[in-house]
Amino acid sequence: MPKRVQSFLAQIVVIAPTVAMLLAIVPPGRADIVAPNPEGVPAFAPKPRNGSRWTPVATPLEWQCGSGGTGRSAVFVGSSELDVQSATTESPAFRGYTSGTSHSETWSPSGTYFWRIDCEYDGGLVRGPVWRFTTAPAPTPPISPSPADGALRVIPSPTLSWGAALNAERYDVYLGTNRTAVAAAGHLSPEFRGSSQSALFPVNGLPYRTAHFWRIDAIGPGGVTVGPVWAFMTRPPPLLEPILSQEYEVTDAVSGHTIGNAPNPECSIMLRGGNGVYFIYRTAGAPRVFIRRFDLTTQVFGAPIQVEHLTDPATNGYHSEPTILADTAGRLHTLVHYAPMVGSCTGGFGIAPRWRVLPDLFEASTWSAPTCLTSRVRNTQGAQFYDVMAVTDNRAGITHAVGQSYGLAGIDGRPNNGFPRTYYRFRSNGQAEGPYVIVESTTGWIPELPAGANAAIQTKGDLAVGREPSGIRSLHVVWNIRAQWNDSGLQRQANVDLYYARSVDAGETWRPADGSVSIPLTDHVQLNDPRFRAVTGDVGQNSERAFDVDSQSRPVLAYLRHRLGSGVLVGNRVDVLASPSPAYDLAWRRWTGGGWVGGTVNSAFDWVNSRPKLRVDADDNIWVFVDAPPRYFVSRDGGASWSGPVTVSGYSRATRLFSYADPVDPNFHYLAYNDRGDNRLYFRRLQLTLP
């Protein structure tokens, strides 16, 4: 080989490793490694790093070129690696020249981008490697606002809350009284209230009775997700005290009506219908049942209409009071606990009480004949259904009625001894469906009673309907354990614990406050199931009668709490029949959504003989009504403090209260009460809140 050729080949051998080294400055798959800065090298040190994930959408592209460059670079960006690899300055991926080592543009969330930088040197552009990165996903829109969209009567200093957005690191809060302004607002707008890293934002001092609009924007590495505009209305200014109507007599004094026995506040004796309120009562002397309608416009009672003429004396049995209810088609129904009905309903598919349907109260020809209440099982033991309370859900087309029963056998394959909490549905077609057992009772001993107490156990209780703004309304029941037994010839009675259950499917299933279990209606809640317990310990008789739900359909209870050291203990329980009698404080309890809280309404008096009632008004103020004379306590801060008692009526002779929330206008409430001195029935209408 000629020497000239040998010399040329030798130079190639020397140069080739150097070229190979230069080409290997950014090896495949390692394009983000910082390299030395020889003149003419491709771009290196990319930011974001090659292969980065969850890159914020506002991230600029950064890189480095060799030290001998002109300081100018060509930028190529696209969604296809091949397109970016082959791109020229005439391609769509070409973003232009930059005089620095960074480039900014708006990236889309959850996008994968490929990019290339060609560094310029005196000899021209040096093609760079192709890098890639993936941007973070956009935050999800905020959901589940509280106050709910369209909420009414919101407190003036609410804490705004919402469901946390995925991929969000903080939230911007906008609030104002103009929907358009809130929708368009930015950080420089007066509607911008600030930012929060949590899904909570307290607001103070909003004006009363004003529409407010608010928006939550979720901000995260994936950008800003603008939330929807929600609305709520603040409540009107509070009434410092209720506005009381004059006192009206329900019983017809002209006809000499007086009520028989002591009316039992366990029954529904008031019913709002149209622009009137219907009252039902049973007279003393000749045992008759009357309905009177009070016109809310003229504030005058109509003539009493006799709907029953009975044969047993009005004092025959304590639980002789009637109930009035209406189905969702507007028919009135009366239920009268009438002694002869017990025998006449036995043996067939019927149950006492005496049931009558009155499509038109003022046209007797439309009334059904008195009959037994329909029973879905054969009545073999003189079964009875009494002390009936009813609430109506027009959306579900059902009037729900809960009461005490006795003598039921064979319900859902169970003997059902004792006094279970029993349930009926009255359909819009006027038909009754039942009985069902919500809470199964028993006879014998249970751990809540003193050892050896072989007791007849009742499940006394109350009923309320929820305040959901749409859809089927929830149904709520409260009960206690009332046990009676013979102790060597002494009659004993204990009233133990309070329990709570709710249904969100028109009574088909029942669950405790925390929703931890769902029990089908035909499986029956057990009377002492600890999962349903709301209050533990000895309680006064009729404690289960004071119950309502708040604006979020959460239960609120008032009850008589045994005063420690009073009364006679039998085993681990207070005997309410023994002497001296136990003393009781007036107490409250409510479910917060996360647990039960409670305290004392009043401990200055002994409330042993009181039958309290409770109402949560349209602004979530809690009213506790007590009798003898009719009075009220009120808490405007969720039970933290109480004012009262304030007297509603001067009648003080062992009055008993019937409490009824107006289902048409929630600003109003009705109290009916009897005076056991003259055996007449009276009522007053109370305006608790402003519209």
User: Quick one: pLDDT at residue 319?
Assistant: 57
Bridge partners (DSSP) listed for residue 98: 73
Distance of alpha carbon 589 from alpha carbon 292, whole angstroms: 36
155 with 280, same domain: the answer is no
Which CATH number does the domain housing residue 119 bear?
2.60.40.10
CA 650, 280, 472, 505 torsion-angle sign: positive
| pLDDT (tens digit per residue) in 185-201 | 999 999 999 999 999 99
Q: How far is CA 225 from CA 56, 194, 229, in A?
A: 14, 16, 13
Q: Quick one: pLDDT at residue 21?
A: 35
Tally of domains in the chain: 3
Residues in the chain: 691
Q: How far is CA 631 from CA 317, 320, 650, 668, in A?
A: 29, 26, 9, 16
Q: Say if residue 370 is in the same domain as residue 426.
A: yes
Same domain, 497 and 609: yes
Q: Among 135, 157, 190, identify where a domain stops.
A: 135
20 pLDDT more than 50: no
Cβ-contact 185, 170 below 8 angstroms:
no
Q: What is the pLDDT of residues 520-546, one digit of tens each?
A: 999 999 999 999 999 999 999 888 789
443-450 mean pLDDT: 90
Same-domain status, 525 and 396: yes
| 326 pLDDT above the threshold of 50 | yes
Residue 300 has pLDDT above 70, yes or no: yes
Are 680 and 531 within one domain?
Answer: yes
> What number of other Cβ atoms are within 10 A of residue 121's Cβ?
16
Mean pLDDT over the full length of the chain: 90
pLDDT of residue 618: 95
Q: How many CB atoms lie under 10 A from the CB of residue 120?
A: 16
* Residues 238-261: tens digit of each pLDDT: 998 999 999 999 999 999 898 865
Show Cβ contacts of residue 594 under 8 Å, excluding neighbours closer than 6 positions.
Answer: none
- In this structure, which amino acid lies at residue 200? L
What is residue 376's predicted lDDT score, i.e. its pLDDT? 93
Residues 156 and 74 in one domain: no
Query: Whole-angstrom distance between the N-terminal and C-terminal Cα of the chain?
Result: 112
Alpha-carbon dihedral of residues 335, 340, 343, 349, nearest 10 degrees?
-20
Average pLDDT over residues 118-147: 95
194 and 125 within one domain: no
Could you tell me the residue range of the domain that residue 254 belongs to?
243-687
Domain boundary among 79, 103, 135: 135
Residue 15: pLDDT band by 50, 70, 90 thresholds? very low
Query: Parallel, antiparallel, or unpaired for β 432-440 and 525-526?
Result: parallel
Mean pLDDT for 144-172 is: 95
- Nearest Cα neighbor of 475 from 463, 486, 483 is 463
Question: Which stretch of 32-46, 167-181, 205-219 has the lowest confidence by average pLDDT?
Answer: 32-46
Q: Across residues 462-489, what is the average pLDDT?
A: 93
CATH number, domain with residue 357: 2.130.10
In the block, residue with structure tokens 């069902």:
436
Q: Are 625 and 634 in contact (CB under 8 A)?
A: no
Token match 């062992």: residue? Answer: 654
Q: Could you tell me the sign of the dihedral formed by the alpha carbons of 33, 36, 42, 43, in that order? A: positive
Domain final residue pick, 234, 268, 292: 234
In a shared domain, residues 318 and 378 = yes
418 with 343, same domain: the answer is: yes
Shared domain for 481 and 365, answered yes or no, is yes
C-beta neighbour count of 46 within 10 angstroms: 26
Q: Are 161 and 304 in a shared domain?
A: no
Which amino acid does the sequence have at 176? Answer: G
- Mark whether 81 and 171 lie in a shared domain: no
* pLDDT for 317: 45
For residue 517, the model assigns a pLDDT of 97
Q: For 15-35, what is the mean pLDDT?
A: 37
- Write out the two tokens for 270: 């008031």
Q: Across residues 392-420, what is the average pLDDT?
A: 88
Mean pLDDT within 371-389: 91
